[in-house]
Amino acid sequence: MKLLFFVYLVNLSVTSIVLAQDIPNWLEFETNYARSKAKNITANWGNSEWLMEEILTGGDVNQKSKMVRLYLYPSTLNKFYSEEIVIDDFESLVTSNFNRNLPTKIFIHGFGHGYNCSFPQDMKDIFLLYQIPVNLVVVEWGPLAMSSEAPSLIDRFKNYIVASENVEIVGNRVGDFISYMWMLGYYSPSMVHIIGFSLGAHAAGYAGKRVYDSTLQQIGRITGLDPAGPLYSTGLVGRHLNEYDASYVDFVHTDMGQSGTVLSLGHSNYFVNGGKPKQPGCISQITEYSLFEKIPVALLGSCSHSTAPLYYSQSVAQSNDFIVATQCYSNVAFQTGLCAFNDVAIFGEFSSPRTRGWYYLRMLPQDRSNIYSC
Ligand SMILES: *[C@@H]1O[C@H](CO)[C@@H](O)[C@H](O)[C@H]1NC(C)=O
Ligand SMILES: *[C@@H]1O[C@H](CO)[C@@H](O)[C@H](O)[C@H]1NC(C)=O
């Protein structure tokens, strides 16, 4: 035990030395980035520099909007079968198997991903497997979500920034689709539940705002699965998903301070296993240890971050034996039993829209074999 503790300490100090060199943390970068952007000047990162121009004039909004696509998965018999619904094309909507009498789940993926990745595909498959009567709509914004696999860290970093800058376009496009259906008298926004992972959570927030701005109607629900933290911490760059974006907004935290946000801005906020890294089954990455982590961490892809969709999927499968969480004010209090007699709330898919506050729970991610793939 003594030895283990010693190794852990050494590990920590080595990590801090390596990372502390000239790499700013995300908060620092976010503030500088916002400042540079406002002045339309060159931004610095480490020893590298690049022109803001590259980001500010990063393409035509209309053209980018068209790169956002929607796929409906209507068949419980064939999970690979999809129908594309073309936004603004009523014909494609009415000829599809979209059922206007059922509620709708819209899934939005995050940075470096596409619609064929584990999220949303695995979660969509769970809804089909349990034959939950809903329309399942998957959003594809892969070409705008950039690559998280770029060989150099600086390229991944730029890609993350560009992807973040595209999030509003994605959200607006999804919002326009929902508004369009309402304006045709075809479908009510209150029947829509958007489930967004990472940057996709913030895209969902923009969608909710867009729908409200154009129709004065609110989307029924938005679930933020570990909403992305970097560039969304200060409000100076990205607009953070919050409780005004839908009638009910629930957050699932699993990687706070790393890839995930530290802000709990939902009506209800669920902290799984404390809400922070490292989640059970995740190998201890040397970097997974503190809040406001240094920049590279979120870009290396985080195991703890990708457990959020897994936990949520597990909740979909638990309609007979709900997963419950306990209201509490901190993980330490929860762990030591100080909140044992507090209110409980159902976690995940079956969470009640009347739930308010902070809830803690322990969970094991069931399928560790293939935690996230694209
Ligand atoms: C920012 O500067 C670039 C040239 O460096 C220019 O093309 C662009 O129009 C400027 N953008 C704004 C918003 O001023
Ligand atoms: C996504 O998966 C489907 C079904 O396997 C396939 O037909 C399609 O080409 C894939 N799309 C992309 C962009 O990989």
Known catalytic residues? 198, 226, 305
Within-domain flag for 58: no
| Contact of 108 with 197, CB cutoff 8 Å | yes
Q: How many CB atoms lie within 10 A of CB 236?
A: 15
| Contact of 68 with 169, CB cutoff 8 Å | yes
* pLDDT number for residue 15: 33
Which CATH number does the domain housing residue 237 bear? 3.40.50.1820
* Token representation of residue 185: 């008298």
Measured by CA distance, the residue closest to atom 4 of ligand 2 is 80
Average pLDDT across each block of 10 residues of the chain; the chain has 374 residues. List them in order. Answer: 32 33 64 78 55 61 93 97 92 95 98 94 96 97 88 77 93 97 96 98 98 98 96 92 98 91 96 92 55 51 87 90 96 96 97 98 78 74
The C-alpha atoms of residue 65 and residue 206 are separated, in whole angstroms, by 14
Within-domain flag for 80: yes
The structural domain count of the chain equals 1
The C-alpha atoms of residue 120 and residue 137 are separated, in whole angstroms, by 10
Taking alpha carbons only, the member of 275, 297, 286 closest to residue 358 is: 275
Taking alpha carbons only, the member of 84, 24, 31 closest to residue 48 is: 24
The C-alpha atoms of residue 351 and residue 365 are separated, in whole angstroms, by 19
Using omega within 30 degrees of 0 as the cis cutoff, is the peptide bond preceding 133 cis?
no
CB proximity list for 130: less than 8 A, separation 6 or greater: 316, 317, 319
Question: Among all ligands shown, which has an atom nearest to the Cα of 73?
Answer: 2
Q: How many CB atoms lie within 10 A of CB 14?
A: 11
Whole-number Å distance, alpha carbon 87 to ligand 2 midpoint, is: 19
Query: How many distinct helices (H) and strands (E) make up the chain?
Result: 12, 13
Taking alpha carbons only, the member of 204, 61, 73, 171 closest to residue 131 is: 73
Q: How many CB atoms lie within 10 A of CB 371?
A: 16
Which atom belonging to ligand 1 lies closest to the Cα atom of 51?
A: 5
pTM of the model: 0.89
Angle at 203 between CA 116 and CA 275, to 5 degrees: 85
Whole-number Å distance, alpha carbon 112 to ligand 2 midpoint, is: 16
* Token representation of residue 257: 């301070």
* pLDDT number for residue 24: 55
The C-alpha atoms of residue 218 and residue 232 are separated, in whole angstroms, by 23
Measured by CA distance, the residue closest to atom 6 of ligand 1 is 53
Within-domain flag for 25: no
Whole-number Å distance, alpha carbon 59 to ligand 1 midpoint, is: 13
Angle at 54 between CA 57 and CA 298, to 5 degrees: 115
331 lines ligand 2 (CB under 6 A): no
80 lines ligand 2 (CB under 6 A): yes
* pLDDT number for residue 373: 80
* pLDDT number for residue 374: 80
Bridge partner residues of 43 (DSSP): 50
Which atom belonging to ligand 1 lies closest to the Cα atom of 56?
A: 11
Question: Among all ligands shown, which has an atom nearest to the Cα of 55?
Answer: 1
Question: Among all ligands shown, which has an atom nearest to the Cα of 56?
Answer: 1
Which structural domain range is residue 80 located in?
63-361
* pLDDT number for residue 21: 38
* pLDDT number for residue 47: 47
Q: What is the DSSP track for 334-363? A: HHTTTTTTS-EEE-GGG--TT--EEEEE--
* pLDDT number for residue 3: 34
Within-domain flag for 184: yes
Within-domain flag for 312: yes
| Contact of 30 with 233, CB cutoff 8 Å | yes
Within-domain flag for 217: yes
Residues with CB under 6 A from ligand 1: 40, 53, 56-57
Within-domain flag for 1: no
Within-domain flag for 340: yes
| Contact of 36 with 42, CB cutoff 8 Å | yes
The one-character DSSP state at 240 is: P
Whole-number Å distance, alpha carbon 205 to ligand 1 midpoint, is: 28
